[in-house]
Amino acid sequence: MTDLQAIVDSVYSDLAGRIGEGKLADYIPELATVDPKQFGIALVTVDGKIHTAGDADTAFSVQSISKVFTLTLALGKIGDGLWKRVGREPSGNAFNSIVQLEQEKGKPRNPFINAGAIAVADVVLAGHLPKEAIGEIVQFIRHLADDESIAIDHNVARSETQTGYRNVALANFMKAFRNLDHPVEHVLGVYFHHCAIAMSCRQLAHAGLYLASAGRNPLNGGSVVSASRARRINALMLMCGHYDGSGDFAYRVGLPGKSGVGGGILAIAPGKASIAVWSPGLNEVGNSLLGSAALELLAQRTGWSVFGQ
């Protein structure tokens, strides 16, 4: 029997001397104020057992990790109709690239780059006021994590709204190609606020557990999505979850994952566990430097990989 707590502790211990490495996402002013010397790990198995190390209970801005949950909601609303508006291919470009969006006539390459997530936010907004759509997203994540304390960091949301000019450009560009149904400012309101949700590694690992459990939430026994949909969301995370670092992450870690520029990463070991890591310093492609290293060690020491032992 693998001692998962011992593995989590050993990964934390081996990387503790590197805490603080990487570069903060200072283009979002509020994220530039985060203490870089923080590092947390939380691993929740499909039977609900949790193993943690370091700053696993410190809340941080999940940023693009939230796109996994809004994608799940959007698929629940319109199913495979979503793929008429968003692709399923790796981008190979920066997460906020405008060039690719122009070449492909306003259809984002996948739901995890910024343009794709803006289109997904537009789907979630259907039939709602922006405040209602934001509330639905937060409530969905609270339900998944079985934790009513999860909330939006309004300072981060304000910071993104005031400085997110590139996202405004992306949204207007898609609107010009008729790939947004709602007013740009409403869609961006949903987008900026869902990126500003704050969660700890413990909460995030719990929230992602349905993707490790064939679409079911083992915390309450409820069905979230079908097993086939969970498998497809995992496939998208593996191919596209780390922007133009997705191939390297698949090579080194071998698990579906989704990163955020707040320094968090959610990784899924299908049938086994949901794992969340966090350290604010980023590598050159915008993924947590220490978090990526931690998941590589964890995958090696557990033997977990979607590509075999």
Residues forming the active site: 64, 67, 191, 243, 261
Spatial separation of the C-alpha atoms in residues 66 and 71, rounded to whole Å: 9
From CA 31, how far away is CA 201, in angstroms rounded?
Answer: 17
Residues 148 and 8: their CA atoms lie apart, in Å, by: 27
DSSP β-ladder status, 60-61 and 197-199:
antiparallel
Residue 9, by phi and psi: left (phi above 0), alpha (psi -120 to 50) or beta? alpha
Q: Are 297 and 15 in contact (CB under 8 A)?
A: yes
Identify which of 37, 31, 45 has the alpha carbon closest to the alpha carbon of residue 19. Answer: 37
CA distance linking residue 61 with residue 280, whole number of Å? 10
| φ/ψ of residue 141, rounded to 5 | -70, -40
Alpha-carbon distance of 263 to 40, in angstroms, equals 10
